[in-house]
Amino acid sequence: MHRLRFWAVVAGLLAVTQAAAATNELKQEAIARLAASHDPAIPVAIGRVYVKQAGLLAAQRLLTERGEAEHLGPQWGPQAPEWRAAEAELAAVIDAVIARGIEDPAWLREAWAGVSAPILNAEEADYIAQHFATEGGALQRRVIEMLIVGETLMAYYTFTDRLRYDMRGSEREVVALQTIWWEREPFKLHDFTAYPDAMRFAGTDPGVKYCKMLAIQGIETINAHYAVVVGETAAALRAQQGRIDPYIGAFRTRTGHTGRNDQSREESISR
């Protein structure tokens, strides 16, 4: 009798475990669909500009350090053609990191899936994913992505001078961002009264809960990822700084500046 009860308990536990596993699998699938429903274009475009400009500043610091270490004198600077050529060489290193860390939007989907999982259950994630697949939901999703995510990111990075429109070397990335931005008509007013589901989504959970998540955790994960890629860019530039050497050699050939001996001679003359 006791043995039968034991096996009945075991069977019950197994059934509960299997049901929980099945529920978790359904939740993960729904969250993956929800994350994949988003358009990554704006976070990718902003990240592309920000990382490129942060990388260019890091490249300029590296070129300055090398010039000081090799005593190249005041002629070694952005006005020198060899400096600009070395800067272009390092820009290729930056672009390679951006291609790996920003261009592939898988990072955004993974990040937003990760922050959605603790907040949404399987039914809520499935509901939002299905809503975004409707005509009104797709329009609402684009507005959410622009106003909650895009505007917040742009305000943060432009107001803090982390993103500038006039930095030499990032013109291509800035134009791409502007094109993507204005294609989405950020100032256009949308009338959702023809879409009752969209009106309900905007005023009740899980719509409200999800929008709050995007505004807080969603933005935080984007900023954190940008920071990681900026760090990877700086490390890659340091690791590949040997690519500067030919340009330093060309600079010395053109100017007749051999380095330390020239500086010592200049200091001796000044004394």
Least confident of 45-54, 87-96, 213-222, 249-258: 249-258
Residue 88 lies in a domain: yes
Residue 173 lies in a domain: yes
Residue 31 lies in a domain: no
- Percentage above 90 pLDDT, the chain: 85
Across the chain, what does the average pLDDT equal? 91
Q: Which domain holds residue 89?
A: 37-270
Residue 232 lies in a domain: yes
Q: Is the pLDDT of residue 173 over 90?
A: yes
> What pLDDT, in 10s, does the model give residues 40-90?
999 999 999 999 999 999 999 999 999 999 999 999 999 999 999 999 999
Number of domains in the chain: 1
Q: Average the pLDDT over 170-177 and give the result.
A: 98
Residue 3: pLDDT band by 50, 70, 90 thresholds?
A: low
Residue 154 lies in a domain: yes
What is the DSSP code string of the chain? Answer: -HHHHHHHHHHHHHHHHHHHHHHHHHHHHHHHHHHHTS--HHHHHHHHHHHHHHHHHHHHHHHHHHHHHTT--TT-STTSHHHHHHHHHHHHHHHHHHIIIIISTHHHHHHHHHHHTTT--HHHHHHHHHHHTSHHHHHHHHHHIIIIIIHHHHHHHHHTTSS-S--TT-HHHHHHHHHHHHHT-TT-----TT-HHHHHHHHSTTHHHHHHHIIIIIHHHHHHHHHHHHHHHHHHHHHTGGGGHHHHHHHHHHH---SHHHHHHHHHHH-
Q: Is the pLDDT of residue 262 over 70?
A: no
Q: Is the pLDDT of residue 17 over 70?
A: no
- Percentage above 70 pLDDT, the chain: 87
Least confident of 5-19, 103-117, 154-168, 234-248: 5-19
Residue 150 lies in a domain: yes
Residue 202 lies in a domain: yes
Residue 24: pLDDT band by 50, 70, 90 thresholds?
A: confident
Confidence at residue 43, expressed as pLDDT on a 0 to 100 scale: 98
Q: Between 43 and 7, where is the model more confident?
A: 43
Residue 146 lies in a domain: yes
Confidence at residue 6, expressed as pLDDT on a 0 to 100 scale: 52
Q: Is the pLDDT of residue 165 over 60?
A: yes
Residue 37: pLDDT band by 50, 70, 90 thresholds?
A: very high
